[in-house]
Amino acid sequence: MTEAGTAGQGRRTQAERDAITVEIGYALCSAAFAAAVVFGAVAGPALLFSLPGTVERLLVGAGLVLAPVLFTVRVVSVLLRFGRSARRSAAGTDQPDQPSQPGRTRPDS
């Protein structure tokens, strides 16, 4: 069995495969939670209260459109961010985003 996306890098280690699996799981779970919250916030009033038919259909429809869009955007953004950090780590340029000492704003200060 070959691994896709490893051209020029050789085989992935077990730790790298585990990290990818965890990141995919995190992306899917956090996206599902975010989509459910958005759907509940948008369509919830229509499902809980007796609203006019047009408003009810509009809210449920908006929830049904926004939830999958948010799910997709969340999964893609998490996996792209992970991919960038993994490439940076593999290239040996893994620099922290923050200075190592609290209160310092520049790396040379």
Q: What number is the average pLDDT over the span 90-99? A: 62
Higher pLDDT among residues 70 and 47, named by residue:
70
Higher pLDDT among residues 66 and 103, named by residue:
66
> How many beta carbons lie within 10 A of that of residue 27, not counting itself?
20
The predicted structure's pLDDT at residue 86 = 79
Cβ atoms of 39 and 66 within 8 Å: the answer is yes
The mean of the pLDDT values for the chain is 83
10 in the Ramachandran plot: left (φ > 0), alpha (ψ -120 to 50) or beta? left
pLDDT interval class at 9 (50, 70, 90):
low
Alpha carbon of residue 85 to chain centroid: 14
Is the model's pTM score more than 0.75? Answer: no
**Hey, where are the domains in the chain?**
15-89
The predicted structure's pLDDT at residue 6 = 47
Tokens, residue 77: 């953004």
Cβ atoms of 35 and 65 within 8 Å: the answer is no
